[in-house]
Amino acid sequence: LRTIRKNPLPDGTLRNLGEKMLRYMVQNDALLTSFSFVLKSLKADHMHSNPYEVALKFCYLYQHPDIAEGLLREMKVSGIPLRTQYFWPMMCAESVRTSAESLLRVLGIMDELQVPITLNTLMDWFYPNMPPDADVEKLLNSERLPGMTPNLYYIGYMCYLLREVNAKEALELAKKHRMRMLAENRIITSLSVAFTRGEVSTCIELLRTLNDWCADGSVAVAFNSKLLQRLSRLAQPDKFEEILHCAASQNLAFDLPTLQSLQEQFSNTENEKFVQYLNILMKQEPTVNVKNATEVNIGVDEFIDECNKTEAVDKFLADMLLRKAFTDKKYDDFKNLYFFLKDSNDWYGAVSHDQQMIQVYLATGELDQAMQLFKSKEMKFVHTALAIAEALVKQKRVDDALDILKQDCNRTDQYDNGRFVTALNSFFDSAIIYVSPDELCTLLNGMSIGNFPLNINSLMTKCIKKYIDRNELDKAVEFFERAALFFRRIPYATEMTNELVKQEQSALLQKAFDIVVRIRGELHAVMTLALALVSSGRLDQANQLLKRRGVRLDHNHLISFCRIRVDNNKFRDLEALFTATNGVVDCNRNNLLSFLLISYRNCRNWRRALYFWNLLKEENFQLSKRNLLLFRKIFSDNAQVPPDDLIELLENSGINSMDSDMDALEQTEDDLLKSIYNVVPTSEIVALLNEKRIEEAVNLFQEIAQTRQSFPLKVSRQMIVALRRMKDWESLSKIRRSLPAADVRMLNLQYYIGEAMINCGECERFLESLEIRPRLRSYSSLVALILEHNPKLEERVNIYAENAYRLNNPVPLVGLWMYYTVNGRDEQARALLERLGEKVIASCLKYQYLFQKAKSRNQLSQVVDSTLTLMKKHCTTESISAAIGSLIYIERENLQRVEELMAMAEENGWTNSRLYKRIVNRLKSTMMNEDLPDDAELMSSEDDDDDDDDDDDDDDDNIKENFDQNKATTTTAETH
């Protein structure tokens, strides 16, 4: 194939090769390893644009679903996006259609590969391919339904019955299983098919049942009205007349605009009966039998007694009672109802109920019962495993914790969820306190055996950092030694060595040095020690060490050290390294200087560059052309005149002689920028941002993101702040699509997009995006900001907030409470506080918004007192600490007030949040204008999850890298 000459097609593209070979391989059952080699070769050599998709087509054409499964897994590993429709033909394969188990396995594969299982998949492919003798009811009651909640499986089955079978069976299903109303448009489409088929009376009865499922009357009215509009266009006149007659006799509810519109539509036709029925519907008082999903006015004992009397279980109400008991921490009520329902034949417990039961066991200290329940379930979530393991670790039951961690947690979709990250952090916080370093390594090893796709280097780095933060250096070195022997890795070696040097722990330093020698050799160990001496400011000792006879430089280690410092703008370390290498023979100091100058350019520090230029003159340092151009670029970017001797050197090197030939000069500078790009890819983005070339920076950001290179959070943040100042929400949205979901959450990007839309006058458009998805939790401060900018939208915001609250999303109502509070509308604020309760308000409020708006209205003292009182009752000390840090930032110009707040924080132990420490440290170092977070960043996050500490040469210490992004989706719902 490689020898075939590829003639271009008329449109200039190259002809695809290899399809016949792929067809032959499928027909002859080729091994998957052979497929993998051929497909990768076709792709790498540009012989075929989409070989995987073609091979998949042949697998389905020749009925080889087993080979197709292997190819789909190979595509996932190779980073090729998997689409839902790739799995549909697999369900049509003869070998798969023979049993419900085989079809269910296809859904399991989709779930395992993080491909969404849609209602289309269920309605059009899963249920239609079920064998005739399949017991669908039994299947739906099993615990092995992957990917979605049982509720959606029921809705999908009901829609399938309506469309493909008959409405009677759909009605029987609806009567047996009460469901939440989801995917309304799909239900309306399926009902329309059944109505037009002539099953009017059955469909009307089903519609009444569906109305009972709705959260309240307004939802039922809206649903009925949409359906009636659809039927007016699709149904035959005689059928539509029958529909109107049955609707009037059943007293169904429709909204007035829909009825008026239809009346106007039919008034000019001969369909007088239509108009008569519409008049009846407009005049009658609708009665909608609805139970509000947010109101449960019956106790658990009363509910159980009622179920025993009627010998039936209201599943919908049972679900609400379980959730309410769990939320209110009424664990005895939860247990009683859970066990009662488990013994009931009419009850199907959702996976979430079992997860809650495990949490209840953990809260009540019944660890053995929690372990037993966890192991007995087929669906095992990783965050639940971590919670159980943490509880066991606190009791020093390391073997049991290891047993739990080794369980096959098949719900890998949770790896990209904030809940998983929180559970992982909490687990390690406890493990470091309660177990020995040796036992901690054992636990890490248990997590590394296939069950957790984690970056072990990052986890080991996290453990060492926590030991150092607790000033337990002996344990840090002990863990470092055990990890080195266990995993043959030396995480965080440079930074730990740096800490040992700073604290003059010579014995521990010697021990750490010996460990590095054993694992990486003496060359790497010497470089690690030298770089630690450089970072701690002991330049003479570092210089003497590097000049010792027989010492050679580890250039890869050196370059990695420089790259990390450039990414984090640590130019002081780069200056120290340049000084410490003076006189070292085996060192290209021009390369080190390039890193330093790139760092100067990134942070626009032309004054420091000028100072260093004068130092280089005194040393008579021979500069390379690249560094001369870099110096020139630093001064020109900052509108500064270069020193005369720099201009002279440029002329002598022949660079300035190109001024007359602008093309040649631009080409030279382009080559320079490319060389920078190759060394530190993100540095050019920073330079473009500094030059206000925002559009070019955004394009380069996306270009680098497409190559799957990771971005330092500082670069992403700088890009986001620049776009926020421009109120460019469209570019922010582009950046959001380029970043991993963990970074989006950590950088609060969703908040910035909403804030930018509001500030540039797109309040209605942003509100529409919220109204479409009322279940999605946004930021309460954004809801308040909408009304600050456009008070005319208050009615719409109220409707959206009520709809969201019915779907268990109180954030918009809390936003309204904040808006009322700072605008002096005390009665409305008090009413919302009584309705929601202090706990809900405290969990969703944004104190930054409250503090800033209150200060602008001279109400700060009153609002601070009430807010802190609320938080003391219901929030963690870390959240209160972050609130105090935010308040210190707002009051930064009032030094007396700042001192009072800091004293209060010290007295109450409110100094443990990262945001508080960051702001106080900046204040103490008198760097107020350099690194303090701006107002928007404060408003969007209670605490700053970013960690700007230095990484080691192998590792990234940020917890966001603790899981393999290739094995997790990048879809996330922003929390409040």
Q: DSSP states of 871-939 as a string?
A: HHHHS-HHHHHHHHHHHHHHTTT-HHHHHHHHHHHHHHT---SHHHHHHHHHHHTT-HHHH---HHHHH
The residue whose two tokens read 């110009």 is 893
% residues pLDDT > 90 (the chain): 1
- Report the half-sphere exposure of 451 (CA within 13 A, side-chain side): 21
Instruction: Check: CB of residue 631 under 8 Å from CB of residue 613.
Output: yes
**759 three-class SS:** helix
Q: Which residues pair with 454 in a beta bridge?
A: 963
Burial 955-975, CB ≥16 within 10 A → b, else e: bbbbbbbbbebebbbeeeebe
- Most confidently modeled of 391-400, 687-696, 887-896? 391-400
Decide if pLDDT at 27 tops 80. no
Q: Which residues pair with 963 in a beta bridge?
A: 454
Decide if pLDDT at 727 tops 80. no
Instruction: Check: CB of residue 583 under 8 Å from CB of residue 543.
Output: yes
pLDDT mean across residues, the chain: 75
The residue whose two tokens read 């509000």 is 292
User: In which element (H, E) is residue 685 found?
Assistant: helix 683-690
Task: Quick: pLDDT tens for 44-70.
Answer: 666 676 777 778 888 888 788 888 888
pLDDT of residue 24: 73
Task: Quick: pLDDT tens for 609-666.
Answer: 888 888 888 888 888 877 888 888 888 878 888 888 888 787 776 655 444 444 444 4
Decide if pLDDT at 235 tops 80. no
Segment 114-133 shows an average pLDDT of 82
Decide if pLDDT at 938 tops 70. no
Q: Which residues pair with 14 in a beta bridge?
A: 8
**289 three-class SS:** coil
- Write out the two tokens for 624: 């390379």
Instruction: Check: CB of residue 412 under 8 Å from CB of residue 452.
Output: no
Q: Which amino acid is at 255?
A: D
pLDDT of residue 219: 67
Which residues in 211-328 belong to E strands, given as ranges?
none
Q: Which amino acid is at 342?
A: K
Choice among 721-735, 767-781, 891-905 with the minimum mean pLDDT: 721-735
Select from 840, 831, 917, 907 the least CA-distant residue to 873: 840
- Report the half-sphere exposure of 105 (CA within 13 A, side-chain side): 13
Which residues in 657-783 belong to E strands, given as ranges?
none
Segment 769-784 shows an average pLDDT of 83
| Cα distances (Å, whole numbers) of residue 710 to 571, 682, 683 | 21, 9, 13
Cα 817 to Cα 841: distance, rounded to the nearest angstrom: 8
Decide if pLDDT at 282 tops 80. no
**454 three-class SS:** strand
Instruction: Check: CB of residue 460 under 8 Å from CB of residue 487.
Output: yes
Cα 384 to Cα 409: distance, rounded to the nearest angstrom: 9
pLDDT of residue 683: 67
| DSSP structure string for 361-416 | HHHTT-HHHHHHHHHH-S--BHHHHHHHHHHHHHTT-HHHHHHHHTS---BGGGGG
* Residue of higher predicted confidence among 229 and 742: 229
pLDDT of residue 710: 59
Q: 261: pLDDT confidence band, cut at 50, 70 and 90?
A: confident
Cα 778 to Cα 882: distance, rounded to the nearest angstrom: 20
Q: 966: pLDDT confidence band, cut at 50, 70 and 90?
A: very low
- For the entire predicted model, the pTM comes to 0.50
What are the domain boundaries of the chain? 149-290, 553-680, 845-945
